[in-house]
Chain A
Amino acid sequence: MATAVRPQSTTLADVNGAAMAAMLAAGIGALAMALFVILNEAGMFAAPTLYGPAGGVTGRTTFATLVWLVVWGGLHTRWRARQIAPGRVFGLTLAFVGAAVAGTFPPIWGLL
């Protein structure tokens, strides 16, 4: 009796581009969130409010989410069949996430 065999999963040795794209895009999306927050607090740019009762947070979070998805789609398209140096991508991702957490931390705004 023939046994169905699931295809072996994609190995990192083949291509890791999709994984790297997902990581870096998350870092860039997080950084975008912090940038929208800081620009808003500095009075330089306010993302439009998308739902009045909830206020400006709806615009900031939606815009940042859109940046994340667009960047992810772009990186995924370019990298999905490629092997990407993971160390540099992961380092960048961590740096972006660190900056994002700092940028969305209210005491930082007080320094503006």
Chain B
Amino acid sequence: MLFSERSIWTMVHGIGLGGAALLGLAAALFYLYAARPVPDPTGNETGSRAFAMVTVFSAVMLWLTVIIGTYIIFPPYRATPPPGTTDLSQFPRALVLANPGTAWLHAFAMEIKEHMPWIASMLTTAVAFIAVRYPGTVLRDRPLRTMVLTLLAIAFVLVAGISLLGVFVNKVAPLD
């Protein structure tokens, strides 16, 4: 088989869901930065629905990413090899820790990846809630727009950094 089940889950986690979340966050950020709302006869702003949809999409993708990462990807990553095992290719954590040059990938990168994505998910969910609850106001009201833009930017930076660390880990110790 070209890809193992573990490898497919890793791609779903990192490229599929994580990538979709990152794209959604980028789209929401750009929209909030560039859009100039135009009120329609109903009092809502054109595009507010699209903004709400993309933030909800980003939040859902992020939650799926962190849940799958924690409960499906992480267990095989941290599996302890049986005593006497010399081929550590099936035990990524043991593999990176065995080499002083790559040990930081666990002590730094994976430790960050365990917790920080949940923070990004909470922030994005708050933004999605605000975008749905205040569809016109979030685009029209400058203070609220600035607050939402800031939270989105923080979430985007966190997710982008975490994704990069994931690429590093998977490059050195892939889940095959």
Partners in one complex: yes
Query: Which A residues are within 8 Å of any B CB, using their own CB?
Result: 5-6, 8-12, 16, 18-19, 22-23, 25-26, 29-30, 33-34, 37, 51, 53-55, 57-58, 60-61, 64-65, 68, 86, 90, 93-94, 97, 100-101, 104-107
Distance (whole angstroms) from the CB of B175 to the closest CB of chain A:
14
B64 at the interface (CB under 8 A from A): no
Give Cα A25–Cα B130 distance, bound, in whole angstroms. 12
Q: Which 10 A-B pairs have the closest CB atoms?
A: A53-B75, A8-B43, A26-B126, A22-B126, A9-B136, A30-B119, A104-B115, A26-B122, A106-B111, A12-B141
Interface residues on B, range: 35 or more
- Residues of B within 8 Å of A106, CB to CB, are 107-108, 111-112
12 further A-B pairs in the complex, CB-CB below 8 A; given A6-B42, A68-B122, A101-B116? A6-B44, A9-B136, A10-B133, A11-B136, A12-B143, A19-B130, A23-B126, A34-B115, A37-B115, A93-B151, A97-B123, A104-B112
Interfacial residues, chain B to chain A (CB-CB below 8 A): 41-44, 48, 66, 70-71, 74-75, 78-79, 107-108, 111-112, 114-116, 118-119, 122-123, 125-126, 129-130, 133-137, 141, 143-144, 147, 150-151, 154, 158
